[in-house]
């Protein structure tokens, strides 16, 4: 695990965008695993700027998002599908046929998850997986548990995640209680991983991810076992880590 120190959110975002754009330049038809949330927005904005300047071309890139709320349609402004279009896809030259997000509108959880799992596996898994970390150490929506999850599955969100995500909804009652998420094993199949973290509320999780025991109680700690994982975190998020 390589830890790259960033000054603040803006610096973290530029560094992350540099790593992503380098991958796209080196391998124009690469497969990117993408995340939603606050952490990647700055990196997406930077990638859009570089696309507009002609520095990076997404024409052949394929993407697979980590997760989606169960019960939200693609058109729902709170869905991760909508988020990705608003924050990245609608502003770059990616082929809409090449973007994939679990189908939250499919009420049949088993079918929705199996279909997505098959898609990711048939594509050959991700070349670069971008991740954010939850305050409780979750990755995707893989919450602390007794065992690491494997493929795409339906999860009950924890109270801490519902509360953390409620900032994006009118109130906590509107936050869906379930989500479809890539499993930890699927995430670990990515050939490289880029974890980004910003802010003091991530400090404990970042410490446990990088320096704690590898345990499903801190799902992100499994990244210590990945052979090509980079963590880009800002000063506040690294505050609990040794120098
Ligand atoms: C989002 C995702 C989540 C977030 C995590 C951090 O697709 O999979 O694991 O990365 O909850 O969220 P933010 O970045 O909003 O702090």
Helix (H) or strand (E) holding 131: strand 128-132
Banded pLDDT at 172 (limits 50, 70, 90):
confident
Q: How far lies 47's CA from each of 14, 16, 159, 237, in Å?
A: 9, 10, 33, 23
pLDDT given at position 167: 83
Query: What is the residue extent of each domain of the chain?
Result: 2-234
Parallel, antiparallel, or unpaired for β 178-181 and 153-156?
antiparallel
For residue 36, the ligand 1 atom closest to its alpha carbon is 7
Q: Which candidate in 65, 81, 127, 136 is catalytic?
A: 136
Query: Residues 141-170: pLDDT tens digits?
Result: 999 999 999 999 999 988 888 888 888 888
Query: Residues 39-91: pLDDT tens digits?
Result: 999 999 999 999 999 999 999 999 999 999 999 998 999 999 999 999 999 99
Q: pTM for this structure?
A: 0.97
Active site residue 143: yes
C-beta separation of 32 from 130 below 8 A: yes
Placement of tokens 């610096």 in the chain:
11
Residue 210 has pLDDT above 90, yes or no: yes
d(CA 225, CA 234): 22
Residue 38 has pLDDT above 90, yes or no: yes
Banded pLDDT at 136 (limits 50, 70, 90):
very high
Q: Mean pLDDT across the stretch 212-216?
A: 98
User: If you measure from the C-alpha of residue 132 to the centroid of ligand 1, how many angstroms do you get, rounded to a whole number?
Assistant: 5
**Ligand 1 atom 11, closest CA:** 134
- 3-state secondary structure labels for all residues of 8-66: CHHHHHHHHHHHHHHHHHHCCCCEEEECCCCCCHHHHHHHHHHHHCCCCCCCCCEEEEC
User: If you measure from the C-alpha of residue 40 to the centroid of ligand 1, how many angstroms do you get, rounded to a whole number?
Assistant: 9
CB-based pocket (< 6 A), ligand 1: 35-39, 66-67, 132-134, 138-140
Taking the domain 2-234, which CATH number applies? 3.40.50.1360
Average pLDDT of the chain to the nearest whole number: 96
Residue 85: how many CA atoms within 13 Å on its side-chain side? 14
User: If you measure from the C-alpha of residue 134 to the centroid of ligand 1, how many angstroms do you get, rounded to a whole number?
Assistant: 6
Residue 243 has pLDDT above 90, yes or no: no
Placement of tokens 């991530």 in the chain:
202
d(CA 51, CA 44): 10
Q: Which candidate in 103, 117, 143, 234 is catalytic?
A: 143
pLDDT given at position 160: 83
Q: Which alpha helices (DSSP H) does the chain contain, by range?
A: 9-26, 41-52, 80-87, 109-123, 159-165, 184-188, 203-211
């Amino acid at each position: 695990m390589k830890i790259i120190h960033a000054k603040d959110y803006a610096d973290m975002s530029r560094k992350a965008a540099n790593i992503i754009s380098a991958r796209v330049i080196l391998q124009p038809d690469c497969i990117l695993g993408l995340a939603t949330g606050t952490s990647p927005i700055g990196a997406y904005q930077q990638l859009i700027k570089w696309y507009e300047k002609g520095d990076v071309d997404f024409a052949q890139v394929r993407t697979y998002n980590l997760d989606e709320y169960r019960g939200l349609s693609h058109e729902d402004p709170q869905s991760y599908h909508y988020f990705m279009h608003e924050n990245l896809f609608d502003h770059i030259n990616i082929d809409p046929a090449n973007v994939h997000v679990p189908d939250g509108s499919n009420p049949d959880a088993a079918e929705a998850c199996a279909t997505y799992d098959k898609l990711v596996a048939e594509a050959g898994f991700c070349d670069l997986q971008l991740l954010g970390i939850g305050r409780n150490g979750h990755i995707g929506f893989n919450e602390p548990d007794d065992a690491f999850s494997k493929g795409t599955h339906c999860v009950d969100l924890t109270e801490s995640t519902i509360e953390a995500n409620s900032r994006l909804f009118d109130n906590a009652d509107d936050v869906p209680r379930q989500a479809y998420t890539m499993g930890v094993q699927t995430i670990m199949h990515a050939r490289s991983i880029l974890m980004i973290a910003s802010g003091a509320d991530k400090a404990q999780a970042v410490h446990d991810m990088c320096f704690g025991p590898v345990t499903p109680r801190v799902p992100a700690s499994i990244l210590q076992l990945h052979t090509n994982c980079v963590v880009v975190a800002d000063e506040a998020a690294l505050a609990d880590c040794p120098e």
